[in-house]
Chain A
Amino acid sequence: MSEIKINRRDFIKLTVAGVSVLAGSQIIRRAQALETVASNGHQWAMVIDQSKCTGCDYCTLACRAHNDIPPEISWNVVTKTGTVGAQDVYTPRPCMHCAHAPCVDVCPVRASSYRSDGIVKMDYDRCIGCRYCEIACPYGARSFNWKQFDGQNPAVPEWGQPEVARRPRGVVEKCSFCYQRIDRGLALGLTPGIDEDATPACVVVCPVGARQFGDLNDPESNVSKLLHERTSYRLRDDLGTSPRVYYLSATEEPQS
């Protein structure tokens, strides 16, 4: 009988310990969420003007070349989503770089993480390829490397030169906001969004200027001004993911 009593006491102790560990992790999580919001410095964002986009898909191809992506994967997908007047409307979709990214939450190994500038970064050396993030992403922005990508990239050299290492078979990959360009550009004293060498490849290649990139913390940046002047929306804002990609709706008369 006494043996059972000890067991029960231990059981309660263990339960209390378990609950407090869980509660503790939740508190840590809150603290971390606050940290990302309070972070100073740059907060990169993209604005896509749907009244300008013609659906040419140059962005997808430039992205494939600069990031050395296999032809069966697109980090950026352009979809026709309707018409306004006589004009077709397209919705390009890079990674949303959510402030509350489901992929970051679910990754069992922290292969997806937030950079202090808001970019959701993938660590391809850490990813175990469980594909939980693919299932969790509301935007379908993630692709798994089912096959090893060998040989020539058909988008190179016509659309640019690879700037990052090819991902190995068995990991998930996604748009990086070309942070290799941002980081190198900043080191050279350039301004992302203004200087082409410091700006994501899709923004640079766009022939109609439908994509703008810049710092939300800088009130004078292209994106801050556009978001101030025009009404914007974000994809699946109802999910609370807080994407960093903003859309300007297509209107009957193209604005400015």
Chain B
Amino acid sequence: MKIKLPNFSPWRVWIGGLVTVIAAGVAAGLIVLWKGLWLTNLTDMVPWGLWITIDLSSIAMSAGAFSLCAVVYLLGLKRYQAVARTATFIGLIGYTMAVLTLMLDIGRPDRFWHSMVYWNEHSLLWEVTMCVTFYLAVLALEAMPIFAGIGWLRSHWPKLAEKMSRVHHFAPYLAIAGLALSMLHQSSLGALYGVLKARPLWYRPDISVLFIISAIAGGMALTVFASMLSVRLTRHANVENSILDRVSLIVGWVLVVYLYFRFWDALSMTYTYEPGRTEGLHLLTGGPLSFNFWIGEILLGAVVPILLLLNKRTRALPLWRMLAMALVVGGVVAYRWDTNLSGLLVILSYLPGDPSVAYTAYRPALIEILTGAGIVGYGLLAFSLGVRYLKVVDHNSIKTHTEEPKIVKAIPVATD
């Protein structure tokens, strides 16, 4: 027994645990695909639940990629390049997580390609699908130079690795495409809810704005959190504290903007009774979602991190900063969950006469939780492997990286 113990290094335990969670998720996912969606607790009243929340959240958490790439390549603030690299890798993971979740959630995953062929440009969901597909391609290209760093690839396919790392020269153009696509679908994911007149709580223009602002905060927060956690846990990661400090300050201010819009958005809904809307708001402020709303979204998700991040002293302390970032991530996830459910749990009658409102309930089934955990586990595994083998959290490597393009650039000039 004692002889075997040294094998259980923290890394192996972590990977082993993740693989177990993923295996359970894969098994549960296969059962869902085989037996059908009746195994879930989704109903015709609440057709979107935990999986949609994971889908929306993983896309939101990927928003660090487009925002930081825009900062680096469009605003020209090159010193954020290392963080943008981490964010891009997280983005690639996040979008693949979203695609995996959607494949489970739709009734006919074999027809996932239909929106590519049968266009309905009136549909926000169509627009989101197209943007997500194209953006996934952009992210894959943006992450090419990261994958070019794989040792095996370099030794076995040096020319391919060389070509892959050259994709980096197109980074500014990819950043433009990423910004355009993300501005579209990050907000459209909120507008998806906002355009539905049948759902009075959702039917307002603000959700789209709130979705993109919260996604920018959440995406940057996850990037900073994951970077700092990696540094604490492994020697394969290193960061430059001043850069993460700046990004954290940005997150703080983005949260201020978010809270400001959220305040007026919520307050404007409290005036006069509107059937369906008032009940939905009550679900958030006093009903089953109130803990999520007041504690998860507002207090811990926004107010506390704003205080921690805008205060120079707490922001400088790694543990406080990490706590703030984790809270932001939690708050954004809670916001997605609450947005989805507050609209679905209220059923506004179509019958004439007094507008009657009924409530329904939703609690994810075990199989939804297992598959969801498997997908999150995949994300964590991919990131862990990325930190260890692809050095995705490596603020030193970028310094040499930034010099590299200059040399390459000099060649065509010399041949001219």
Chain A contacts to B: CB under 8 angstroms: 3-4, 7-8, 10-11, 14-15, 18, 25, 28-29, 79, 81-82, 91, 93, 102, 104-111, 126-132, 134-140, 142-148, 168-172, 233, 235-236, 239-240, 247
Give the docked Cα–Cα distance between A132 and B106 (Å): 10
Q: Are A128 and B115 in contact (CB under 8 A)?
A: yes
Q: Tell me if A108 and B38 are in contact (CB < 8 A).
A: no
B172 contact from A7, A128, A143, Cβ within 8 A: A7
Contact residue among A11, A15, A81, A134 (Cβ-Cβ distance under 8 Å from B44): A134
Interface centre among B47, B74, B128, by most chain A C-beta atoms within 10 angstroms, is: B47
CA distance A139 to B349 in the complex (A): 8
If A11-B176, A105-B122, A108-B125 touch, whether A81 touches B351 (CB-CB below 8 Å) is yes
A148 to chain B, nearest CB (A): 7
Residue in chain B with minimal CB distance to A143: B44
Q: Quick check: A129 and B197 within 8 Å, CB to CB?
A: no
CA distance A247 to B184 in the complex (A): 41
In the complex, A147 Cα to B118 Cα: how many Å? 26
- B139 to chain A minimum Cβ distance, whole angstroms, is 18
B199 at interface by CB-CB < 8 Å: yes
Say whether B115 contacts A239, CB under 8 Å. Answer: no
Question: Nearest-CB distance from A185 to chain B (Å)?
Answer: 29
Which residue of chain A lies nearest to B70 when distances are taken between CB atoms in the complex?
A: A11
- B406 on the A face (CB < 8 A): no
- B285 at interface (Cβ–Cβ under 8 A)? no
A135 touches B76 (CB 8 A): no
Bound: A170/B36 CA distance, A = 8
Output the least CB separation between B369 and chain A (Å).
Answer: 18
B180 in complex: contacting residue of A15, A108, A148, CB < 8 Å = A15
Taking a contact as CB atoms under 8 Å apart, the answer to whether B111 and A135 are in contact is no
- When distances are taken between beta carbons in the complex, the residues of chain B under 8 Å from A107 are 120, 123, 125-126
A236-B350 Cα distance, complex, nearest whole Å? 6
Cβ-neighbour of A235 out of B38, B42, B123, B351 (below 8 A): B351
User: 1/0 per position for B320-358, CB-CB distance to A under 8 A?
Assistant: 000000000000000000000000100110111100000
On whether the beta carbons of B120 and A108 are closer than 8 Å, the reply is yes
What residues of B have a CB within 8 angstroms of the CB of A129 in the complex?
37, 106-108, 111
Whether B111 and A14, one on each chain, are in contact in the complex, defined by CB atoms closer than 8 angstroms, is no
Q: Chain A contacts of B112 at CB under 8 A?
A: 128
Contact of B351 among A4, A79, A109, A147 (CB under 8 A): A79
Expressed in whole angstroms, the Cα–Cα distance for A170 and B106 within the complex equals 7
**Chain B residue at minimum C-beta to C-beta distance from A110:** B120
For the complex of A and B, 5 pairs with smallest distance between CB atoms? A129-B107, A170-B107, A138-B198, A131-B47, A146-B38
Q: CA of A171 to CA of B106 in the docked complex: distance in angstroms?
A: 9
Interfacial chain B residues near A239, Cβ < 8 Å = 197-198
Set of chain A residues within 8 Å of B107, measured between Cβ atoms: 127-131, 144-145, 169-172
Bound Cα distance A233, B119 (Å): 35
- B198 close to A128 (CB less than 8 A): no
**Residue of B with least CB distance to A170:** B107
User: What would 15 A/B residue contacts be, using CB atoms closer than 8 Å?
Assistant: A10-B173, A11-B74, A14-B180, A25-B122, A91-B351, A91-B352, A106-B123, A109-B126, A111-B118, A126-B111, A128-B107, A129-B107, A135-B344, A137-B198, A148-B36
| Cα-based distance from A236 to B412 in the complex (angstroms) | 68
Q: Does B73 touch A at the CB level, under 8 Å?
A: yes
Known A-B contacts A140-B44, A171-B108; A3 and B37 likewise in contact (beta carbons under 8 Å): no
Q: Is the CB of B108 within 8 A of A139?
A: no
Chain A hits for B123, CB < 8 A: 105-108, 132
| Interface: B278 (CB within 8 A) | no
List, in ascending order, chain B residues with CB within 8 A of A171's CB: 107-108
Known: A91-B352, A106-B122. 15 other contacts (CB 8 A): A7-B73, A14-B180, A18-B180, A25-B122, A28-B121, A106-B123, A107-B125, A108-B120, A108-B126, A128-B114, A130-B105, A139-B350, A169-B107, A236-B198, A239-B197
CB distance from B172 to the nearest CB of A (A): 5
Cα–Cα, bound, A30→B309 (Å): 47
Tell whether, in the assembled complex, residue B198 and residue A102 are in contact, meaning their CB atoms are under 8 Å apart: yes
User: Across the interface, do A140 and B118 meet the contact criterion of CB distance under 8 Å?
Assistant: no
How many Å lie between the Cα of A146 and that of B32 in the bound state?
Answer: 11
- If A82-B353, A126-B114 touch, whether A109 touches B197 (CB-CB below 8 Å) is no
Q: Which residues of B contact A134 (CB under 8 A)?
A: 44, 47
CB pair B44–A147 under 8 Å, yes or no, is no
Assess whether B290 is interfacial by the CB under 8 Å rule. no
Q: Which residue in B119, B179, B352 is a CB contact (below 8 Å) of A81? A: B352
For residue B48, CB closer than 8 A to chain A, the reply is yes
Evaluate whether A136 and B196 lie within 8 angstroms (CB atoms) in the complex, with A15-B180, A109-B115, A144-B44 already known: yes
Q: Are B108 and A127 in contact (CB under 8 A)?
A: yes
